Amino acid sequence: MSHSQDMVFTLYGDYIRYRGGEAWIGSLIRLLRPIGLSGQAVRSTLSRMARKGWLKSRTASRYSFYSLTPKSIRLLEEGAQHIFQPRADPWDGRWHVLVYSIPEAKRHLRRKMVRQLRWLGFGALNHATWISPRDLHDEVEQVVNAFNIRPYVDFFTAEHRDFSSDAEIVARCWNLKRLRKYHAALIARYEPLYQQDKARIKAGHRLQPEACFVRRFKLIEEYLSSPYVDPNLPLELLPEDWLGGRATQLFQEYHEMLVGEAETFVETVLEKAPKITAGKPAVKRRTPQRRSLSARK
């Protein structure tokens, strides 16, 4: 998925979906311009996403509108669950093992399968054997059925016996050093900005709505990449100097601080859109419920 499509998904996932799920193309261009997308890039991206079934377009008078499809709503809901409500249950000591043998003729499905396994938090024991400390059978079954590869996949639950420790297994299957660098970079980049804005608010200064929208957007966008590298491992399997909890807490607190003014900016832009509802009553907009993260410490 292209970066511009990711940006559109972020905009719809955090703002538009809570306001009826549809927006005028002029509003989308105005909202994405300060993020770095030109009007032409926005139009091209929306058109491409509509062809792929991620968005639905309609034209009323001379105005174009884009709305979420059931397919994109499912994706956004899954992403929000994965990111904003990560599992934090203790480890029961068992490993859940997925083994696949996908024919070479279906290697494109093999690549898709690997991407989905990484998204779910699996680690590669070898090129065709993936493990997770969490029972993700239902999630795996959805992926297997979606790709129609059920005959080529097996799923087991097992206990690790001898030869190496669980810590060594984790170090072999997940790149925790790279993940620590990711968390350290996130903290180094946003902690000073968070403290700066926090001090300004405490001193009675109002943050600028558009600036809050841009900063919150970039924060969300960067944090959205974390599920692809952060497997959300149980605390029992993580090193003592783990930075994931601190990074998550920073994201939560800064996200919460910026949301009010960011919402104000979005509302100001959307209010200027033409009020054409194609014979349907306009959907009443509402402010999204603030989601909370369970910071792991």
pLDDT single digits (tens) 140-161: 998 999 899 999 999 999 998 8
Same-domain check for residues 156 and 187: no
186 shares its domain with 247: yes
Q: What pLDDT is attached to residue 84?
A: 67
Please report the pLDDT score of residue 244 as a whole number. Answer: 87
79 contact partners, CB below 8 Å, separation of at least 6: 13, 224, 227
Residue 236, in any domain of the structure: yes
Could you tell me if residue 39 is inside a domain? no
Residues 145 and 158 placed together within one structural domain of the fold = yes
Q: Over range 255-276, report the average pLDDT.
A: 92
Whether residue 181 sits in one domain with residue 153: no
The values of phi and psi at residue 57, to 5°, are: -105, 150
What mean pLDDT do residues 58-63 have? 90
112 and 192 share one domain = no
Answer yes or no: do 109 and 189 share one domain.
no
Domain match, 179 and 256 both: yes
Q: How confident is the model at residue 228 (pLDDT cuts 50, 70, 90)?
A: low
| 155 and 230 co-located in one domain | no
Residue 100: inside a domain: yes
Q: What is the DSSP code (8-state) at residue 282?
A: P
Q: How confident is the model at residue 283 (pLDDT cuts 50, 70, 90)?
A: very low
Distance CA 65, CA 274 (A): 10
Contact 47, 30 (CB under 8 A): no
Range of lowest pLDDT (74-78, 106-110, 113-117, 168-172): 74-78
Which CATH number does the domain housing residue 119 bear? Answer: 3.30.70.240
From 144, 172, 200, the end of a domain falls on 172
Structural domains in the chain (count): 2
Query: pLDDT tens across 192-215, in order?
Result: 999 999 999 999 999 999 999 999
Query: Which value, in Å, is the radius of gyration of the alpha carbons in the chain?
Result: 21
Domain of residue 240: give its range. Answer: 175-264
d(CA 11, CA 34): 12
Query: Considering the domain boundaries, does residue 8 fall inside one?
Result: no
Taking alpha carbons only, the member of 139, 85, 134 closest to residue 234 is 134
pLDDT of res. 81 = 72
Asked if 118 and 195 sit in the same domain, the reply is: no
**By the 8 A CB rule, do 170 and 134 touch?**
no
Mean pLDDT over each residue of the chain, to the nearest integer: 87
